[in-house]
Amino acid sequence: MELFADEVFETILNNMENDFDSHDFIFEMMRHFPRQYTNALYQCRRSKDPIQTLHAKIGRKLLGFEGKIVKTRKKASRNTRGLPSTNQHWKKIESE
């Protein structure tokens, strides 16, 4: 299974709290799908910043789950490099 498969994102979303940010999502992705994450990062190796490139792709993919999550605000949190950076916060949509 590849990192950008819908099943990977749905699995991670199911494990997330109701309110989360993109960094939280990426950390869960790294924890549950390390091989797929590493392979996807390797595919970005020729970009100026492979980590940032991959994480931007992950954020864009999250936008496609509009029936399950909604963007809320932007706020700083620690990224995978341990540095504070602004990222998107999300909220799960309540299912009826």
Q: Tell me: the pLDDT tens digits for 19-68?
A: 999 999 999 999 999 999 999 999 999 999 999 999 999 999 999 998 99
Integer Cα distance of 20 and 91 in angstroms:
7
pLDDT in tens, 77-91: 999 999 999 999 999
Residue 80: other Cβ atoms inside 10 A: 14
Give the whole-angstrom CA distance, residue 83 versus residue 77. 8
Strand (E) positions, the chain?
19-21, 69-78, 84-92
**Positive/negative CA dihedral, 14, 45, 38, 20:** negative
49's enclosing H/E stretch is none
pTM of this structure: 0.92
